[in-house]
Each structure stands twice: as C-alpha cells, then as structure tokens.
Amino acid sequence: MKDLVKGQELWKTYKLDSTEVHALRGLNITVDEGEFVSIMGPSGSGKSTLLNMIGGLDTPTKGKLYIGGKETSSMKDKELTKMRAKDIGFIFQTFNLLPALSVLDNVEFPMRNLTNGEKLDKSSRIQRAEECVDIVGLTPRIKYLPAKLSGGERQRVAIARALVNNPKFILADEPTGNLDSEATANIINLLHEVNDQGTTVIMVTHDLDTAKDTKVMKIRDGVIES
Ligand SMILES: Nc1ncnc2c1ncn2[C@@H]1O[C@H](COP(=O)(O)OP(=O)(O)OP(=O)(O)O)[C@@H](O)[C@H]1O
Ligand SMILES: [Mg+2]
C-alpha cells in the first residue's frame, strides 16, 4: 500500500533560554494508507510533537516529512493551513469545541475554511454536517451547546467535526484520556468504523486496551523503538 506519511530523520529541538530540548531525535516513521496506528510511550517522549508535526501544526528542525508524497517539512504556513483543512481531521484530548456554537455549527465550522474549488454553499454545508452528526449518533443533540453534553458526547462531536471534510487521515491525541470506560469503548469503536471506511487513523494513547487491534508504534526519547 501507498505511504501516506513518511518521516525521515525527524528532529525537533526547542530552545529555552540557553538550554535545548530535543523532543524528537532523528525519528523515522512510515504510515500506509488505510492503517490504524497507535503511538504509545512515556510522558515527554515526543508523541504530541510528532502528531502535531504530521498534522502541519509544527515543522521539524531537521529531517524530511512527506504527506501523501508531498514534502510538508519545507512548506510555508499558508500551504500547511490549506493541507490541514483539506486532508486532516484533528481530535484532541480536550475536545476543543467552540462553546457558543451548537453541535451542528461546531461540525459545520471546518467547511468554512475550504478554499476555491472545494468551497460549499451554506445549505450543502449544513446537509453534510447533519450527515456527520448522524454518523456519531448525536442527531437528538444536534441543537445542544457543548456545555450541556457529556464528555463522551463532546468527543463524538469532535469526531464528527474531524470527518466533515472527508480527510485522508485523522489524528487523535489521547482522544479518550478524559472519558470513562464505556465512553472510551464507544469512541474507539467509532474510530475503527471510520478506519474501516478507508480513513487512516493515527492515535496517541497511554492505554494498551485502547490500542487493541491497531498497529502499535512505541516511542521513547524522541525515536520510535518498535
Ligand atoms: N513548545 C515547547 N517548548 C519547549 N519544550 C517543549 C515544547 N513542546 C514540547 N516540549 C518538550 O518536548 C518534549 C516532548 O513533548 P511532547 O508534548 O511531545 O510529549 P508527549 O509524549 O506528548 O507527552 P505526554 O504523554 O505527557 O502528552 C517534552 O520534554 C516537552 O517538555
Ligand atoms: Mg502529549
């Protein structure tokens, strides 16, 4: 299968005053199209740094990163922003929903960032948002504000929002970190369903159970060890 993500000798060095922190130390990673990958490792080992880099929220200090065959490590911010909107769905541990917007409007929101050929009119955007809310089983809550939802429901909104632009892949940084075991199982099932439809999923997790039936990559001190 085709490489969707290819990272070669990735370094990320943060400078704080006179000290340097090497969050990634020459990390190599390949993710094929259609895979479900779990990234596991101790706190501070570089998991979020790697995920943010794959998602174009951050760039490597050294090394090359290719997404869908295109080198993103040398892209300018504007190009990265465009790639993020079109190809990538993000799910964060803390949901990051817009508090003043309803479930429907939160899910519709990323479609406003599409440019030129991909832009949809308002009624098409709403129709697509309704479809995604339905996929995550939240149609009965479609008019709710996030504050009225349970944690698991909020995370399902975040998944619907991540799906809405038909991304090539979904990046999830500890998507179940704040949830009880029932809500966790629900979210992981949803991610597997999305993956079964062909969307590549890359997830950071601390929990072995959550990583069941996925390809586990272990990261330690900024490199993948297995
Ligand atoms: N913006 C930053 N400036 C300076 N150092 C940073 C920055 N972001 C991350 N680091 C450092 O880089 C290292 C890797 O951080 P990262 O957030 O990738 O770890 P992680 O594996 O996601 O940890 P956790 O499991 O706790 O979320 C840590 O030592 C962290 O302190
Ligand atoms: Mg992290």
How far is ligand 1, taken at its centre, from the CA of residue 108, in Å?
Answer: 31
On the question of pLDDT at 116 being above 90, the answer is no
Ligand 1 close to Cβ of residue 160 (< 6 A): no
pLDDT, tens digit, 9 for 90 and up, residues 68-79: 999 999 899 888
Give yes or no for residue 46 CB within 6 A of ligand 1.
yes
Ligand 1 binding pocket includes 21 (Cβ within 6 Å): yes
| DSSP secondary structure letters along 76-110 | -HHHHHHHHHHHEEEE-TT----TTS-HHHHHHGG
Ligand 1 pocket, residue 45 CB under 6 Å? yes
pLDDT band at 1 (very low <50, low <70, confident <90, very high): low
pLDDT value of position 82? 87
Where do the structural domains in the chain lie, given as residue ranges? Answer: 3-224
Do 10 and 63 meet the contact criterion of CB atoms below 8 Å apart?
A: yes
∠124-56-96 over CA atoms, to 5°? 60
CATH 3.40.50.300 fits 3-224, yes or no: yes
Can you count the helices (H) and strands (E) in the chain?
A: 6, 10
DSSP string for 25-61: EEEEEEEETT-EEEEE--TTSSHHHHHHHHTTSS--S
- Among 45, 203, 204, the mutation site with the greatest number of ligand 1 atoms within 8 A of its Cβ is 45
Question: Helix or strand or coil: residue 119?
Answer: coil
Interatomic CA distance for residues 62 and 143, integer angstroms = 46
Condensed to tens digits (0 to 9), the pLDDT of residues 158-212 reads: 999 999 998 999 999 999 988 889 989 999 999 999 999 999 999 999 999 999 9
Residue pLDDT, tens place only, 83-98: 888 899 999 877 789 9
Q: Which of 16-20, 123-127, 140-144, 197-201 has the lowest mean pLDDT?
A: 16-20
Decide whether any atom of ligand 1 lies within 6 Å of the 48 Cβ.
yes
151-163 vs 122-135: helix axis angle to the nearest 10?
130
Rounded Cα–Cα distance for residues 101 and 22 (Å): 38
Say how many Å lie between the CA of residue 59 and the centre of ligand 2: 16
